[in-house]
Structure 1
Amino acid sequence: MFLSFSNVAVAIALLTERCFAQSPGSPVSSDVWTKIVRYTDFASAAYGDSCDTPPYGSVAVQYFNDAFSDTHATLFRDDTAKEVIISFRGTASPKNLATDLEFDLVPLTATGTQCSNCKVHKGFQSSFEVLSDSVTSAIKSQLGQHSGYTFTVTGHSLGGGIAAIATSSFIAQGLKVANTFTFGEPRNGDQNWIKYISGQIPDANYYRVTHASDGVPQIPPQDLGYYQHGIEYWESQLQNNSASTTYNCGTQSTSCNAGQSFGNQPINGAHLTYTNTVIGSSLHIPACGATD
């Protein structure tokens, strides 16, 4: 059969369209990968009741713990980078698991926020609120004492869900959040909430990192009214990830983490390791100097 130039052009265009449809996105730059590595360590370090050797020569300024809910966070200060970092701990106890399961959508009432039609995860919001006053006060104190320092929010798993609501609250209270980095962040609000927080912090400054077939970013399900927000950065391999295997998937991607099956266990190996290191352990924390 004779193929005209126009037919060949159409065939190439169709093939290209299919390839792009299947593509997870563009590999991240080495600069973005370096940032992901850095904040993976700070998110991991929050799992310790104390951190003997904080990441990157930073100091652990203050540890926060609400005994009733077992919500934990650690405030770090890196004088070399001139940065203050608040890191919220992920699920590490039965009380934390109970918080995860409080997935009713409730009105957004976190301190300072103003969105009457926004709804968020009940457990994540209540966990932030029990620490809100003390954490916010400590952050303001550090930024007041260290002029020119930037402020970053991070967290893994449950900590990622809390970090999302915390970011919104901090900004609403006048704190400038330079960036938020979350790892294995579960869905934490409805579509109105997504629009609200995206209006507070640009998507370019919100790094929602996912890993392989980690199931936690896929729950609670959209059938319950939950949606994800922020640009997704997907570490596509189970092990040995790098900038070339980590993709900028844009927002609401269905071909990156959301396109992977986690079977019947959302909390799997991909959830407990990020950026080639252990992230979900209170017993073995390489980010705090553990070697065995």
Structure 2
Amino acid sequence: MLAIHTLILAAVALQPVFAAPTLYATGKRDESDGSPSALSQSTISNDFQRPALFSRAAYCPISSVASWTCGPSCDALPGVVVLASGGNNGEIPDFFIAHDTATNSIVVAHQGTDPDDLLSDLNDVEIAKSNLNSTRFPGAGSDIEVHDGFQDTQGRTADIVLSTVTSALSSTGATEVSVTGHSLGAAVASLDAIMLKMHLPSSVAITTTVFGLPRVGNQDWANLVDSMLGSSFAHITNQLDPVPIVPGQFLGFQHPSGESHITSVASSGQADIEACPGQENEHCSDANSLLDFSIDNHLGPYFNGISFGAAAC
């Protein structure tokens, strides 16, 4: 996982250089020291498992995903009709939009950063921030900034995501959209969720569940996610995974609320997961260090035997 290592090493190298207090002055950051609370196994299965299975399927060859014949990853989700798919496993990471007939919802899923896909990884190393695109994110304040590379990647599929979801809601009668992804796919999914929230009728429920999410934007971005998505946004972090703590807060990046942190995974696949109140809870992934991390935790397993990456498809 060369590019993730590059991003981590760059962050470690930069911290001593930019440790002066004035460079931390990017506006007030919201920190939480609230005590996490354990999630039940039924909550994990009911709220997280289906999005995780869709995120896992996004790593499968896009030709087999389009026909929903991608083996165990597709077999685990019967009744799925893929409406649009694409990507080149590189500059445009693979993605699909589907009708989940079991829940009568429209699903948007994005491939993430895989160790075997260096080109996809390269999207992660641009640390510059930029304002949200005014066409895709109408009315977004000028103080809101996001990772430039993540926004560029999201922009390459934004039109087909928005048009396909809009059409599918009309043709299927669905009133819920589920947005998901892992790693880079989690970042793109987060941007998709805000875009869809801004463009779709308020009667459409948008649920966003992402895994191994890197920090996407600044404090104002985190506040926007909290205000627009609220409790319908969940990001699951896994033990000592370093990806959720990059880019660093010292560069002006901030996570929104909604973290659920995996503290351990048994050999049976059962995970202990805690709900972490507030943004950047000091008892959860925010407590992790770039000096002590596990890349394996980024790919999994997360819970119920679910891992991500091409090898997990």
TM-score normalised by the chain length of structure 1: 0.82
Per-residue CA deviations over 1:161-195 (Å, capped at 9, x if unaligned) read 11111111111112534310010000010011111
Q: Distance in 2 between matches of 1:159 and 1:223?
A: 23
Q: Does 1:181 align with 2:202?
A: no
Q: Cα distance, 1:275 vs. partner?
A: 1.7
Question: Which residue, out of 27, 32, 53, partners 1:41?
Answer: 53
Q: Is the 8 A contact 2:245 2:288 kept in 1?
A: no
Q: Cα distance, 1:278 vs. partner?
A: 4.7
Q: Is the 8 A contact 1:66 1:130 kept in 2?
A: no
Q: Distance in 2 between matches of 1:132 and 1:196?
A: 19
Aligned residue type for 2:118: P
State the SS of the aligned residue for 1:87. strand
Distance 1:173 1:145, change over 3 A: same
Per-residue CA deviations over 1:44-103 (Å, capped at 9, x if unaligned) read 111112331524212333212157713221112211211111011101322211110012
Q: Distance in 2 between matches of 1:85 and 1:63?
A: 11
Q: Distance in 1 between matches of 2:89 and 2:234?
A: 30
State the SS of the aligned residue for 1:85. strand
Question: Which residue, out of 210, 213, 224, partners 1:196?
Answer: 224
Distance 1:178 1:70, change over 3 A: closer
Cα RMSD between the aligned structures? 2.3
Distance 1:88 1:207, change over 3 A: same
Q: Is the 8 A contact 1:103 1:220 kept in 2?
A: yes
Structure 1 runs not aligned, ≥5 long:
1-20, 286-292
Q: Does 1:112 align with 2:137?
A: yes
Q: Is the 8 A contact 2:209 2:235 kept in 1?
A: yes
Q: Distance in 2 between matches of 1:22 and 1:198?
A: 17
Structure 2 runs not aligned, ≥5 long:
1-31
Per-residue CA deviations over 1:227-271 (Å, capped at 9, x if unaligned) read 00121111111445647x2111112211112223453666x1111
Q: Is the 8 A contact 2:95 2:108 kept in 1?
A: yes
Q: Distance in 1 between matches of 2:217 and 2:77?
A: 33
Q: Does 1:168 align with 2:202?
A: no
Q: Does 1:72 align with 2:94?
A: yes
Q: Does 1:125 align with 2:136?
A: no
State the SS of the aligned residue for 2:310. coil
TM-score normalised by the chain length of structure 2: 0.77
Question: Which residue, out of 258, 273, 281, partners 1:253?
Answer: 281
Distance 1:67 1:247, change over 3 A: closer
Q: Does 1:56 align with 2:77?
A: yes
Residue of structure 1 equivalent to 2:264: 237
Residue of structure 2 equivalent to 1:221: 248
Percent pairwise identity: 23
Q: Does 1:28 align with 2:39?
A: yes
> Over alpha carbons, which structure has the higher Rg?
1
Matched length? 262
Question: Which residue, out of 152, 163, 172, partners 2:178?
Answer: 152
Aligned residue type for 1:56: L
Distance 1:231 1:241, change over 3 A: farther
Q: Distance in 1 between matches of 2:96 and 2:251?
A: 32
